[in-house]
Chains A and B, each alone.
Chain A
Amino acid sequence: MRRDPEGNELSHLLRFGQLGGKRVLDIGCGDGLLTSRFAPQAAAVVAVDPSLPELREARSGRPEGLAARVHFAAARGQALPFAAGHFEVAFFTSSF
């Protein structure tokens, strides 16, 4: 299965998010495919999802070069374990 090989989603996220040099929170990252696509543009990314199987897949699929920049964590949107004002951009990707 291939998702969005045209790159429409990524191009819109990059245009809307203006990620250069920013700390980004990705809420509902799922298998992390999209996270790994936009992460090279950001300073740092924390991607959260409540599903442990999805997070395992996300970690295993994370490109080697992004290991220091992208962190995956188990969390729900209702209780985010981060300090106030920590992020400059937050993505809700299909996951209110």
Chain B
Amino acid sequence: MVHALREVCRVLRPGGLLIDLRPIVSHPPVEVLGGDRAAPAGRLDDSSDSADAAACERTLRTARAQGWLKPRESATFSYSMYWDTPEQMLEYLTANWGEVQVPEDVVLRAQQLADVAVRPVRVRVRLTMSIASYVRIGG
């Protein structure tokens, strides 16, 4: 990771901006939406991403210590994804989020909630995202 960050700093002009955008490990909630109601079905297990998140933090600390980057500003925000059914959610997450666990009871609960919800039904997963900007230092 340090090598990759150093390479990005190489192609970034001095004074340029590096923007780091990634999800925070937060056990994202799964909700079933119908009418004006959002019913909680449980949470995903994204704890396997903790090691990667820690490695990212270490890498950025190294970059600051080496004088490659200077922190500028940071924030968190909500990022939602929507599907029409719990099956579509499961299919997508299994195919695209290999490390994130989708507990069976959450899928079952989402299905039960979807069966009785006011149409049209949507299934939502809500992530918390982190965004931070850094200024490239030096020549």
> Which residues of A are in contact with B by a Cβ distance under 8 Å?
1-6, 8-9, 12-13, 16-18, 25, 27, 76-80, 82-96
Contact = CB atoms under 8 A, between A and B. Distances in A.
A4 B74 CA distance: 19
Interface string B110-132: 00000000000000000001011
Interface of B: 1, 3-5, 7-8, 10-14, 16-23, 52, 55-56, 59, 73, 75, 77-83, 88, 92, 129, 131-133
Given A8-B79, A9-B77, A94 B23 contact: yes
B71 to A, nearest CB: 12
8 contacts: A4-B80, A16-B75, A77-B8, A80-B11, A85-B16, A94-B23, A96-B5, A96-B59
B8 A92 contact: yes
Contacts of B59: 96
Nearest to B132: A16
B33 to A, nearest CB: 12
A9 B21 contact: yes
Contact of B83 (A1, A82, A91): A1
Given A13-B131, A94-B21, A1 B11 contact: no
Given A85-B12, A94-B23, A78 B7 contact: yes
Contacts, number: 116
Given A2-B81, A94-B23, 15 more contacts: A3-B81, A4-B79, A4-B80, A5-B80, A8-B79, A8-B129, A9-B79, A16-B19, A86-B13, A88-B17, A90-B16, A91-B21, A96-B1, A96-B22, A96-B52
A84 B77 contact: no
B16 A89 contact: yes
A1 B12 contact: no
A78 B11 contact: no
Contact of A17 (B7, B14, B19, B78): B19
Contact of A87 (B13, B55, B131): B13
B82 A2 contact: yes
A80 B21 CA distance: 19
A1 B88 contact: yes
Contact of B11 (A5, A16, A25, A76): A25
